[in-house]
Amino acid sequence: MGQNDPRRLIPRTDRLLAHPVLLGARERLGEDMIRSIIQESQERARSGKLAPGDVEAEVLAGVASRTATSLRPVLNATGVIVHTNLGRSPLSDSARAALLTAAGYVDVEMDLASGTRSRRGAGARQALLRACPAAEDALAVNNGAAALLLATTVLAGTGEVVVSRGELVEIGAGFRLPELIESTGARLREVGTTNRTHLGDYESVMGERTGCLLKVHPGNFRISGFTSGVGVGQLRSLAKEHQVPLVVDLGSGLLAPDPVLPDEPDVAGALAAGADVVIASGDKLLGGPQAGLLLGRADVIARLARHPLARALRMDKLALAALEATLGGEAPPVAAALHADPVRLRERAGALARAVGGAVVVEHDGRVGGGGAPGVELPGWAVRLPEGAAPLLRAGNPAVLPRVHGRACLLDLRCIPEDDDERLADAVRAALGRLGEPPGTGGS
């Protein structure tokens, strides 16, 4: 390199690393990531593609783009599979790849063969119909609440939505289905009591003003004891007799029965029993992106799709792409967590306990969470740490969310991909190092 070679002007790595912005970004991104961003720009300057004087600016921009979201990845060690506060379902690799594809210009509403406009989200619709052949047609909107809003708006109008008092649920963060339905201008006609509703209760209110029959699967609680409800099949006859549509809101998103969740209703079953339209979320047990799925009779779905509200509730192209990929690709992480082998979970927990210096492994049940399979306990194991490790784990890098219970910090590996076990062990060692307590002292 000669005295006048402009490459001499390329800023050195140590000088760049000392830049206050990069120092600030180090904790979030890690030094390796920052070094690789620096090397990329230096390389471009060496090969003449970038002026040496522009290296620093490009490095700063590169670091900024990698911190463009304030969302931080979290290792979910709670054992709760569909964790609403953690964004519910982690996406499959196929769905993640589809998101990237959809990030650019894509033919989401364009028929490239003819150059004319096409139906939005046709691929996701086809994938839904393949996954659920019992449905004549399907429509995906922004989320489950939007699907319910659309169905009751279109099918009940200003008429009555007839629903059992045992099914009037609050879905979280203070949002209540009855209030959501009434916000559309429809009137709720509650029948039965909290614990028991009979066919006669429904029969007694059917009439001129009835807009639709609604059956909701209460996914986030369970009433046991002296209870009774009316099945979809019986409601079918009543709906037919009075010529009103029957809407079934399942929430959970199970398309077909799953042996691990014998009491959880599924879309295919509800359609077979006679629902005109079934509602489910995309990001619960289906394991996909946020979405509200409406599956059922072709004429009903067509009415829903035509309504102006459908435009306001439509899914974005990223979620459409991820939904299609979830349905057509490999089993998503939610399915892996649901069907995790307890023997393997115990082995992994044992390995983690040893790797962090001898913690105790305890039995720990996983949960479906997020409005699915209330009361179902999925047998598994957890590594028990002192309670004080929890805040340090949450603040660590990567952030780890444990379960705090019985004055202990519990790490359940069910929802952690095995590939991340080593990162988890590193994070736990770092947290314990800061805590200054031996791992085996937590809980009772």
Ligand X SMILES: *Cc1c(COP(=O)(O)O)cnc(C)c1O
Residues that bind ligand X (CB under 6 A): 143-145, 148, 171, 216-217, 219, 249, 251, 281, 292, 371
Q: How far is the CB of 247 from ligand X (least distance, A)?
A: 11
What region, left, alpha or beta, does residue 373 occupy, with left being phi > 0 and alpha being psi -120 to 50 degrees? left
Rounded least distance, CB 216 to ligand X, Å = 5
CB of 72 to ligand X, least distance (A): 22
Cis peptide bond N-terminal to 398, omega within 30: yes
CB 359 within 8 A of CB 353: yes
Distance CA 426, CA 375 (A): 33
Crossing angle of helices 93-102 and 317-328, in 10° steps, is 150
**Distance from the Cα of residue 296 to its chain's centroid:** 23
- With respect to ligand X, which residue has the nearer C-beta, 52 or 219? 219
Residue 140 burial (C-beta neighbours within 10 Å; 0-12, 13-18, 19+): buried
Of 143 and 164, nearer to ligand X (C-beta) is 143
The least distance separating ligand X from the CB of residue 280, rounded to whole angstroms, comes to 8
Q: How far is the CB of 292 from ligand X (least distance, A)?
A: 6
Query: Helices 55-65 and 31-46: crossing angle, nearest 10°?
Result: 140
Rounded-to-integer distance, Cα 238 and Cα 390, Å: 53
Nearer to ligand X, 79 or 219 (CB): 219
Pick the closer one to ligand X by CB: 140 or 435.
140
Nearer to ligand X, 16 or 368 (CB): 368
| Cα 51 to Cα 55: distance, rounded to the nearest angstrom | 7
Q: What is the dihedral of CA 304, 120, 268, 97, to 10 degrees?
A: -150
Please report how close the Cβ of residue 86 comes to ligand X at its closest, in angstroms. Answer: 14
Residue 284 CB, shortest distance to ligand X, in Å, is: 6
Complex with ligand X: residue 368 or 431, whichever CB lies closer: 368
Instruction: For ligand X, give the closer residue by CB, 368 or 427.
Output: 368
CA 142 to chain centroid = 13
Supply the minimum distance, in Å, between the C-beta of residue 412 and ligand X: 23
Q: Count other Cβ atoms within 10 Å, centred on residue 444.
A: 6
To ligand X, the closest distance from the beta carbon of 56 in angstroms equals 45
Q: Which is nearer to ligand X, 146 or 352 (CB)?
A: 146
CB 373 within 8 A of CB 252: yes
Instruction: Measure the CA–CA gap between 177 and 185, rounded to whole angstroms.
Output: 14
Nearer to ligand X, 313 or 359 (CB): 313
Give one DSSP letter per residue of 169-191, joined into a string: -EEETTEEHHHHHHTTT-EEEEE
Beta strand 292-296 pairing with 360-363: unpaired
